Chains A and B, each alone.
Chain A
Amino acid sequence: MNNLILKVCTKVLFTPIILFGLYVQFHGDFGPGGGFQAGVIVAAAFILYAMVFGVDKCKIIMPTKLNFFLLVLGAFLYGFVGIVGLILGEPYLSYDLLGSTKQSGQHIGILLVEFGVGLTVCNVMICLFYSFANFKFGSNKND
């Protein structure tokens, strides 16, 4: 796509979309929002960039390997926070002992877990987009 308006608009929109994603991410503690929604919103920024500037350009800012690594890292973060609670002598995924008080512990736990979820969802979406983006249907006859 070589439309100048599209390109400029994408450049302008790219950061606000990510910012909005981060807002949804961290607002998930107090109101509607959280990792799933935020991840998808952040991924939308990358996908918009890829659609306007081409997948190859997008792979410069988000290489496939980094993408896969972050995907795993997010899920690992989620599991790891659970294991920390387990090592501290509480059941799995219990955040009570993470902070100085029970409430702050819950706070830190939820924040980290949601961050892990957001990271994973965002990167899964980008990964899916990458794997389908370069595909061209051959000479197939379907009904």
Chain B
Amino acid sequence: MINEIFGVWNYWIVFTLMMIGLYIVISKKSLLKKVVGLAIFQTSVFLLYITFGKIAGGTAPIITNNSEEIYSNPLPHVLILTAIVVGVATTALGLALIVRINKAYGSINEDEISAVDLVDYHEKFSEKKNK
């Protein structure tokens, strides 16, 4: 029983990280923290791929004279290299948007931004009435 649960400890780490990241994205009001949560969430997926590409005692998949050597599956690592680049792009785009949002709204808090939007809406509405 214990073996069954803790034998797959790497998957536990992966899914704990995943839930932490997802929780941050959902619960935090700060836009910056959401991007950080998203980065954690994506990192957990990188770990998931790498953890089933790894064989205990396996080496890097380089051809040597010793043909009996065990090597880890290189494909998940390559896939994750691509996914890391995508993750960097996502984070960079998110941060760039936050910079622009901060410039336009003067805040990066979700509630304050919607408050600004609400004020704008009412001003527009009252302008129309005055006409």
- A141-B112, A142-B108, A143-B30 as given contacts; A132 in contact with B102, CB under 8 Å: no
Name the residue on B nearest A37 (C-beta): B81
Out of B28, B60, B96, B109, which one reaches A141, CB within 8 Å?
B109
CB of B10 to closest CB in A, whole Å:
22
CA distance A36 to B82 in the complex (A): 9
Name the residue on A nearest B91 (C-beta): A128
Give chain A interface residues in 116-143, CB to chain B under 8 Å.
121, 128, 131-132, 135, 137-143
Q: Quick check: B62 and A31 within 8 Å, CB to CB? A: yes
Number of interface residues of B (CB under 8 A): 19
For A36, list chain B residues within 8 Å (CB): 81, 85
Out of B32, B60, B106, which one reaches A139, CB within 8 Å?
B106
- What are the interface flags for A21-43 relative to B under an 8 Å C-beta threshold, 1 for contact and 0 otherwise? 00000000001100010000000
- A140-B106, A142-B107 as given contacts; A132 in contact with B99, CB under 8 Å: yes
For B102, list chain A residues within 8 Å (CB): 137-138, 140
Name the residue on B nearest A31 (C-beta): B62
For B108, list chain A residues within 8 Å (CB): 140, 142
CB of A134 to closest CB in B, whole Å:
10
CB of B73 to closest CB in A, whole Å:
15
CB of A22 to closest CB in B, whole Å:
19
Residues of B within 8 A of A (CB): 28-30, 32, 60, 62, 81, 85, 92, 95-96, 99, 102-103, 106-109, 112
